[in-house]
Amino acid sequence: MMQMLAAGGLPVLTDGVRVADEDNPRGYFEWERIRTLPRDPQLIGEAEGRVVKTISSLLRFLPPNRSYNVIFMRRPLGEVVASQAAMIARRKTSGPALDREAMVKALQTHLQEVAAWLATQPNLRVLWIEHAELLHDPALYAAEIIRFLGLPLNVEAMAAQMDRSLHRQMGRSQKP
């Protein structure tokens, strides 16, 4: 999504700390400082007019005195857990002390809570995009993003960013 937005013509706030690697060969497009949002909510002012990638658990720390457009990517949780497990295995690190089924349940609960919270926030507009549908028809969703943002972005350049070969955990069941 970040690559699509950048290709479309939006300025993206990224610091390049996490460089492209085997897990994400086209890069991460992250701004590490966003992780400090709970301690320093006003730092979001540095992102004014730019796109910032963040995780769903940080959204509730966005200062309510600003308006935000949120593009929320939804992906089957079985794929998310499988992807994280593959990354942890490749890096020879450790992950959460939960089995796969418990992790999927915890993520389901979290996402339900985030969706309920987002629905009550008048300063956050949300466009929900299903990952699999985006992969299937990137031009359709690029056009939807342009309508949502109300900006004259390059739909063709956005759609051209889709690389289905990077969807390596496709079809992973949500069950262990």
Chain segment 25-82, per-residue pLDDT in tens: 666 788 999 999 999 999 999 999 999 999 999 999 999 999 999 999 998 888 777 7
pLDDT over 90 (residue 114): yes
pLDDT over 90 (residue 110): yes
pLDDT over 70 (residue 130): yes
With a CB cutoff of 8 Å and minimum separation 6, the contacts of 70 are 59, 118, 124, 125, 126, 127
Predicted pLDDT of residue 92: 67
The proportion of the chain whose per-residue pLDDT surpasses 90, expressed as a percent, equals 62
Which value, to the nearest 10 degrees, does the dihedral of the CA atoms of residues 102, 105, 109, 112 take?
160
Predicted pLDDT of residue 98: 63
Predicted pLDDT of residue 133: 92
How confident is the prediction for the chain on average, in pLDDT? 86
**132-158 as b/e: b if 16+ CB within 10 A:** eebbeebeebbebbbebbeeebebeeb
Chain segment 162-172, per-residue pLDDT in tens: 876 554 444 54
Specify the DSSP element, H or E, that contains 125. strand 124-130
pLDDT over 70 (residue 175): no
> One-letter amino acid identity for 78?
G
pLDDT interval class at 88 (50, 70, 90): low
Domain 2-166 has CATH 1.10.10: no
Predicted pLDDT of residue 149: 98
Predicted pLDDT of residue 168: 42
Predicted pLDDT of residue 91: 61
φ, ψ of residue 46 in degrees (nearest 5):
-65, -20
